[in-house]
């Protein structure tokens, strides 16, 4: 089965960096619809979400490029064509995915995606609710379960600190960590409304990372934490993390520090530090790329059994350059709670 697909499509792109307040920073453009091959799906995009990676990839102040760059690494849509080696999906399936940073993004009406990094869209969610989940969900799941190696087997009666827990990744991370029985979750947030958001998602303790985190956490009778998931300025929290981590404990971060780091602070504790970068698998074509398919399906299961909920907080419509500029501007201002999604072309 296949559908009639037009030759050209709407998209939003750029050829050079401009501040987001400039109306040319993101442009409505028309591009040819790409052709499927191998394990690629061609997806008709229904909803997209924005993430800090979008503003980062938009930002390099390089000279004007020849071709448009299409951003966007979060989408929900319908499979409209499949490459000859596709085996996980059929035309007509609804999918959701974050995608591959080395390929054109999801800010376009049609997008190619390797089936191994796409999952089944949670059936109980609207397109907007589902679009909030893939990038943050994969990041949270890889960070917690693969880098920190948190599991039901290893982590009962242990303590996880999530620094900067009210944002996109944190909102899913709290809920995924909550699936581990006996794991205590300490979330940090800096404003009353973000603290309340973390509590509503399942955090056992919420502390303020604008205060002295060591003191705050120890005031709750917790001296060391077994795991730290840092979603907020690694460099600023480095000494605190070194103080708080349990001997032989594990730290994972998703935020690059701007300067070099004093790794020796972790030495006496034989502690470990891992990066979580959700594009590693697709960028390096690792043999276990399909784990992202599995993670997305696992998250769909949790949604459908009402164990976790979407972190969608705001919807803009339609998908166009003007609304994407609004979304980028909000991300750049910081303080986002949950996710911003755009729907429909």
Helix (H, G, I), strand (E, B) or coil at 294: helix
Instruction: Decide if 94 contacts 121 (C-beta within 8 A).
Output: yes
Chain positions 219 to 238 lying near its own copies, rule: CB under 8 A, are 234
Minimum distance from residue 67 beta carbon to its own copies (Å): 23
The rounded distance, in Å, linking the Cα atoms of 229 and 279 is: 18
Q: Which residue in the block uniquely carries the two structure tokens 């020849």?
A: 66
Q: Which stretch binds its own copies (CB under 8 A): 49-57, 89-97, 109-117, 277-285?
A: 277-285
Minimum distance from residue 277 beta carbon to its own copies (Å): 5
Determine the size of the site formed for its own copies (CB under 8 A). 33
Q: Which stretch binds its own copies (CB under 8 A): 2-10, 116-124, 125-133, 141-149?
A: 141-149
Is residue 277 a contact residue for its own copies (CB under 8 A)? yes
Q: Which stretch binds its own copies (CB under 8 A): 59-67, 74-82, 177-185, 258-266?
A: 258-266
The rounded distance, in Å, linking the Cα atoms of 58 and 101 is: 12
Q: Which stretch binds its own copies (CB under 8 A): 3-11, 198-206, 284-292, 300-308?
A: 284-292
Minimum distance from residue 92 beta carbon to its own copies (Å): 34
Residue 342, classified by CB atoms within 10 Å of its CB into exposed (0-12), middle (13-18) or buried (19+), is buried
Q: What letter does residue 111 receive in the DSSP assignment?
A: E
**What angle is formed at CA 229 by the lines to CA 249 and CA 115, rounded to 5 degrees?**
115
Is residue 262 a contact residue for its own copies (CB under 8 A)? yes
Q: What Å distances lie between residue 81 and 1, 77, 90, 273, 297, CA to CA? A: 8, 12, 8, 41, 21
One residue of 273, 295, 303, 340 binding its own copies per CB under 8 A: 273
One DSSP character per residue, 33-99 reads PP---TTEEEEEEEEEE--HHHHHHH---PPPPSS-B-----EEEEEEEE-TT--S--TT-EEEE--
Comparison of 4 and 260: residue with beta carbon closer to its own copies: 260
Please state the separation of Cα 323 from the chain's center in Å: 20
One residue of 56, 154, 156, 261 binding its own copies per CB under 8 A: 261
Is residue 147 a contact residue for its own copies (CB under 8 A)? yes
Is residue 256 a contact residue for its own copies (CB under 8 A)? yes
Q: What Å distances lie between residue 316 and 53, 188, 333, CA to CA? A: 19, 28, 17
Is residue 157 a contact residue for its own copies (CB under 8 A)? no
Minimum distance from residue 125 beta carbon to its own copies (Å): 28
Chain positions 113 to 132 lying near its own copies, rule: CB under 8 A, are none
One residue of 274, 298, 309, 330 binding its own copies per CB under 8 A: 274
One residue of 8, 247, 307, 344 binding its own copies per CB under 8 A: 247
Comparison of 42 and 242: residue with beta carbon closer to its own copies: 242
Instruction: Decide if 3 contacts 91 (C-beta within 8 A).
Output: yes
Is residue 275 a contact residue for its own copies (CB under 8 A)? yes
Residues in Cβ contact with 205 at an 8 Å cutoff, skipping those fewer than 6 apart: 184, 185, 186, 187, 217, 220, 222
Binding site for its own copies (CB under 8 A): 142, 146-147, 234, 247-248, 256-257, 259-264, 266-277, 279-281, 283-284, 286, 288
């Amino acid at each position: 089965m296949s559908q009639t697909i037009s030759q050209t499509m709407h998209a939003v792109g750029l050829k050079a960096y401009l501040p987001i307040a400039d109306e040319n920073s993101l442009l409505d453009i028309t591009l040819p619809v790409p052709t499927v091959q191998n394990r690629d799906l061609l997806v008709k995009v229904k909803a997209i979400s924005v993430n800090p990676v979008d503003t980062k990839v938009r930002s390099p102040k390089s000279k004007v490029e020849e071709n448009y760059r299409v951003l966007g690494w979060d989408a929900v849509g319908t499979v409209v064509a499949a490459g000859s080696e596709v085996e996980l999906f059929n035309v007509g399936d609804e999918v959701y995915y974050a995608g591959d940073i080395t390929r054109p993004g999801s800010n376009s009406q049609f997008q190619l995606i390797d089936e191994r990094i796409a999952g089944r869209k949670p059936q109980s969610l609207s397109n907007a609710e589902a679009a909030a989940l893939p990038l943050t969900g994969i990041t949270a799941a890889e960070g917690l379960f693969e880098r920190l190696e948190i599991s039901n087997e290893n982590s009962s009666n242990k303590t996880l600190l999530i620094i900067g827990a009210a944002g996109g990744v944190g909102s899913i991370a709290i809920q995924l960590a909550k699936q581990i029985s006996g794991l205590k979750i300490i979330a940090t947030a800096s404003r009353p409304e973000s603290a309340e958001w973390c509590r509503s998602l399942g955090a056992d303790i919420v502390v303020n990372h604008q205060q002295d985190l060591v003191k705050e956490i120890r005031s709750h009778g917790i001296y060391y934490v077994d795991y730290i998931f840092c979603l907020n300025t690694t460099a600023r929290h480095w000494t605190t993390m070194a103080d708080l981590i349990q001997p032989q404990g594990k730290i994972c971060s998703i935020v690059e520090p701007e300067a070099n780091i004093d790794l020796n602070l972790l030495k006496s504790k034989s502690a470990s530090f891992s990066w979580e970068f959700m594009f590693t698998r697709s960028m390096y074509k690792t043999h276990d790329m399909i784990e992202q398919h599995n993670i997305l399906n696992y998250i769909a299961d949790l949604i459908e059994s009402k164990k976790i909920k979407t972190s969608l907080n705001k919807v803009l419509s339609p998908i166009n350059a003007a609304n994407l500029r609004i979304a980028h501007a909000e991300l750049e201002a910081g303080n986002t709670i949950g996710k911003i999604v755009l729907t429909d072309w």
